Each structure stands twice: as C-alpha cells, then as structure tokens.
Structure 1
C-alpha cells in the first residue's frame, strides 16, 4: 500500500525551498537515506505545496536541474523520481527576496499549511512534513502565531498536543514548549503532566510500535528538587501525577535529575525522555543529532513532522543549506503513517 505525503516549503525567503530542491536532486539516494524508517521508497507518493515559480527561481539560483510537475490538490500524487518535483501550486503575494522577510507573504505561508493540514484531515494524504517558517513575520502581518505546533493543534481541533524531537537513539518530548522561562514553573501542573504523558505513551504505541514504552521523566529543579530543598514541584506536582498514571497502567520512571537522566546508561533502556521545558531537553537532542533530527507533533489525528532547524535567512540561495533534517522528517512521517495504516 502506498503512502501519500506532502511537504510545505516554508518561508520563501529562507532555506526551506533550498532543502526541498536538494531532496529532489538527491532522490536517487532516497533508499539509503530512508532505510532506517523501514519504509520502501517505492511506496512513497510525494508533492510539495508551494509557489512553483518561486521554486523554479530558487532552482536556477542554486544551479539545480529540477523538473516541476503541477499536481491538483485533489489528484493522486505521483511516485517521486530523481530531479522531478510534483508541486501543488499556491501563489505567493509578492516575489521573494532572498534573506529578506516580507509581511505580504505571511498569508501565503499560512495557506500552504492550511492546505496540507486539511488534506491530511480528509485522509487524502497520510502525513505532512513542514519546512521552517518565521514566527515573527507572521505576527508582524497581524496573525497571532506561536509556531507550527500550536497552529496545527487549533486547526485539527486537538485538545492537547505534544512536541517531540527525535534522532537516532533518542526521543525527547516536552511538557511545556515556547514559554519564557519565568512562566514555566506555573505552567507545570499535575493535570498537564498527566495529559502530556498519556499522549506520549500512546503515541509511542500507535506511531512507533512500542508495546510497553519506557519513558524517563525529568524533574523541574536541579537534582530533581533535592527532596524539597531546591523546590517542591517534584514532591507536590510531578510525583503525584506519575503515581496516578501508574494506576492507569502507564509506568514512567522519575522524576530524575535532568543532568544525569541523559547519561547513556539511562537512555539505553528508554524509548523516550520527557523534559519539563524546551531548553531542558532539546539542547541534548540537538547535540546528539542536529541536522539529522525531526520535530514531531503528537496527539493530533494527522501525522506531522518537521525539520529541526530554522529559516537560516543568511544561507538562502547559497547552496550551503543541508537537507539532512528534511530526510529525517520525511522518514519519520513515513514511519508513523505506515504504523497508523497497519492498525487501521
């Protein structure tokens, strides 16, 4: 059975179009790059949602020989071929300038996301992969936007979603995401810890075929609170939440000090780590696999993965952008979509 996946090309002034084009040029190596996912390349139908004229301009700037094939959003996607890119067209408002953000094109970026999301919700496509967008320019255009994760949560009507980054040998999920550090402790409630943990645990079962997930949970404070001497969040919030989850059959280990949880002797026996906030877990993940990691949204009725990097405006059109993270995001999307197909 084939899988139909779509890629959104992201901010047109950044490197999203560059890495998408490099993926197409290097597609002959797809089987090697995706072998770890267990998904055969000849199962994949793939298209990019973007302005085809913008992609053509970028290909010329990069000196890449790519043939663009227009595809209607309602049509069956073609099998991917090297140096050929199926494009579901969405027109830009104004022509892009490399490295220069333009508020006029914020609506274009959002339209590509809406089209991808809605196509997945209707089950026309089995998953979406997103290239990076620039949050600031979308907000400058008058649209409240805190990131792909929150946008897609609202679009899909999901009560709660979880951000997880994954690379070879390590998966890190977050209890809180894009919050100022001074707001993190107040945002960590027993109910939130339980909601996030349930979603993570069930996604490991549903999307990654882990029958009995083993999850390590970070404490919030140094030394996981040092028995209350360095903060009481572990005693008052996290431990009671984990005990309630254990009563539901969801057995998690923790809270553990974050500075030792990520040691190899712990991780080798774990399927995922749950960090309390963004910069507690993601620096470790990105140190382990930057450029070969993917951002994955759990808890939605659709499959969505993304690259682990930003728009890198200074690299747009230079040919220096690396498409490794896009390969990884594509592999995880295919893996998760296949797992969901298997269980119906």
Structure 2
C-alpha cells in the first residue's frame, strides 16, 4: 500500500505553452471525477495558465501556486513555477523561450519523481526542435526519461480500450530500423511488455502478437528473411518458457482484420508500423505509456498541434485518458484503494 494518507499526487509537465498543451491540461482538470481520485500538480508557470484562462474563457479554472511540491494542497489544482519569469505566450508560434519552459518543467518533475514526492507523471506535448541544442539532443520523452532513470531499455507502449501496441524501435530514421531489429532487442521489448501487462495492467497470462518487419511478414523469405532468421526464433524461445507469444503476423492484414482485439498486446517492429493503426483507431482516447521504468509516466498520444492552438477546439480526451491511466497503474503497482465517501 502507498504510505500516504492522501490521494495520489500526479504531476503534469506543461509541455509547449504555445501549442495545445495548456488547453487540454486545463480542460481535463475541469473534470470533477479526476479531483476525487488524484491531486494534480502542474509544472509550468501561473502566468501562462492565467493567459489561457482568460483567452479561452475558462473562468472556473482555479489553481493555487506553490513554491515546491512540499507545499502541495490535496484539494486544489497546484501549480509550481519552474522558471522565475514566464515566457510570452504566443499560440501557434514556435519559440525558444517556450522550449526552455517545457524542458524546465520536465526536469523539475523528474527531480520530484526521483525523491518519491509525486506518484506519477503525465507529460503534455512539447516540441523537440525548440528544446534541442548543441548541448542537448532531445529525441523524445521516452528516451529522455529512460536515460534520466538509468534504465537500459524501456518500451513505448500505446494503450487504449481494445488495443495496446508497443514498438521495438522508436524515434530513429526508417533506414536504421533493420539494423535495430535484432534478437536481443525484440527479446528485451517482449520481456518489458509481458512484465508491464502483468504488473501495470493486471493480466496474469497475457497474449501477445508479434508483427513481421517486411511486407507480408517476409512471405517465407521472398520479401526478406528477418522473420525466419530473427523474429521466429525469439517467439519460439518465449513459447518454450510458457508465454503466449504468437507471430510474426503481416501488419496490414493483422490490423485490417482487427486481430488486435484477440490479444492483450501487440509488438510492432518500428514506430509507424504500430502508431499509424493505433492513432487511426484511438486518436482521441489513446495514451502513450513508457513501460519498463521504475516510475509511472503517461502522455497524450498527440503533439503540440500549433495549427489549432488557442482556438478552444482542442480535444482533451487523450489527456484525460492519460491521467486516468496513470492512476490505474498506480493502483495496480501499489495496491492503492480509493476511500469510500
């Protein structure tokens, strides 16, 4: 059981304030169901949220600014100012100042996670290009958090009702994918997926489908031999240990026939092979979960959406789902039980 007497504390790193991150965060936190089960802490700057409260006409969105996580109030929306001054908010415009705030918010949240001051982190979308610099190569939340917590491997795990998709290779150029589709990498990702499905999602004996790398899963070597030489032997090894791992399946036919509904998890070989069907099926309710970390991190499955920033039309469904998913994983990992009112 979690030793705290109060509700779980879930941190939200604000992401890019010139995108839709603040809007979807604020809209999600207007849901009273969330406040009954968690205490939200937004890592951002109060001035940015005040701007959007006025700009979007969200007069009922109230928050309390605190200096550190140690001052958290369990009946309020808490905001920690991660920089002394808030950068100018310019909806739809990429700025270096917004990138600086996004990175500072993420770093402060990571520091509080490492000290066990928050129970989970939900990362709002940011823009990689205004964070990258000569001193920092930022390729994504997943990789940044994996390195921050000293883990060799993690799994980008996209989850929604009726579909869970993980990827062997993530944010790398497509031409580099075949070299990364190795027996060791596939084995490592499958191990993380199995453990996550068991401990984070409460599925004791998960059924997992593995996709092929090549069109038609190689068609018996005619279109590529990675399925025969690499993927099938790995699947066979898991079967010998009693795991319910099947494949490799041709990706197009697999999703075209909606076979993902027959499995608890699907392991795709590369980013777009898994994320295109996932986002096609669950874009407004999908959650990006980083499995394999000692901490809990979820995120909406969309980006900054500069083109609709500040127009009050962004859908908060994925952000809401990310918050609820983080809470569900907290319960699964710690045995947290809700108090009866």
- The correspondence for 2:151, drawn from 155, 158, 174, is 158
User: Of 169, 176, 181, which residue of structure 1 is paired with 2:169?
Assistant: 176
What residue is the counterpart of 1:52 in the other structure?
A: 46
- Say which SS state the counterpart of residue 131 (structure 2) adopts: helix
Residue 76 of structure 2 corresponds to residue 96 of structure 1? no
Match of 1:78 among 66, 73, 77: 73
Q: TM-score, normalised by structure 1?
A: 0.91
Aligned partners of 1:46 and 1:78 also within 8 Å = no
Is 1:116 matched with 2:109?
yes
Is 1:147 matched up with 2:140? yes
Q: 8 Å contact 2:39–2:77 — kept in the other structure?
A: no
Paired position in structure 1 for 2:339: none
Write the distance in 1 (CA, Å) between the matches of 2:18 and 2:199: 36
Residues 211 and 267, structure 2, Cα contact 8 Å, conserved in 1: yes
How many residues of Structure 1 are paired with residues of Structure 2 in the alignment? 330
* Partner Cα separation in structure 2 for residue 316 and residue 151 of structure 1: 25
Give unmatched runs, 5+ long, in structure 2.
Answer: 337-341
Q: Post-superposition shift, 1:139?
A: 1.5
SS in structure 2 opposite 1:163? strand
Moved more, 231-240 or 102-111: 102-111
Number of the residue aligned with 1:22: 27
Quickly say closer, same or farther: Cα 1:339–1:204, change in 2 above 3 A. Answer: same
TM-score (structure 2 length as normaliser):
0.91
What is residue 37 of structure 1 aligned with on the other side? none
For the pair 1:286 / 2:290, whether they are aligned, the reply is: no
Counterpart secondary structure, 1:321: coil
Q: Which of 63-72 and 158-167 deviates more?
A: 63-72
Looking at structure 2, the residues matched to 72 and 203 of structure 1 have their Cα atoms a distance apart, in angstroms, of: 34
Q: Structure 1 pair 76/210, CA: closer, same or farther in 2 (3 Å)?
A: farther
C-alpha RMSD of the superposition: 1.9
Using the TM superposition, name which of 60-69 and 225-234 deviates more. Answer: 60-69
Q: Which structure 1 segments of 5+ residues have no match?
A: 32-40
1:334 Cα offset (Å): 0.5
* CA deviation after TM superposition for structure 1 residue 120, in Å: 1.9
Q: 1:86 Cα deviation (Å)?
A: 1.6
Q: Which string of whole-angstrom CA distances, capped at 9 and with x for unpartnered residues, describes residues 9-48 of structure 1?
A: 1101111011112123x323x36xxxxxxxxx52311111
* In structure 1, distance between residues paired with 2:307 and 2:180: 35
- Correspondence for 1:36: none
Confirm or deny that 1:5 pairs with 2:10: yes
Q: Which residue of 2 aligns with 1:67?
A: 62
- Over 3 Å counting, the alpha-carbon distance change for 1:107 and 1:313 in structure 2 is same
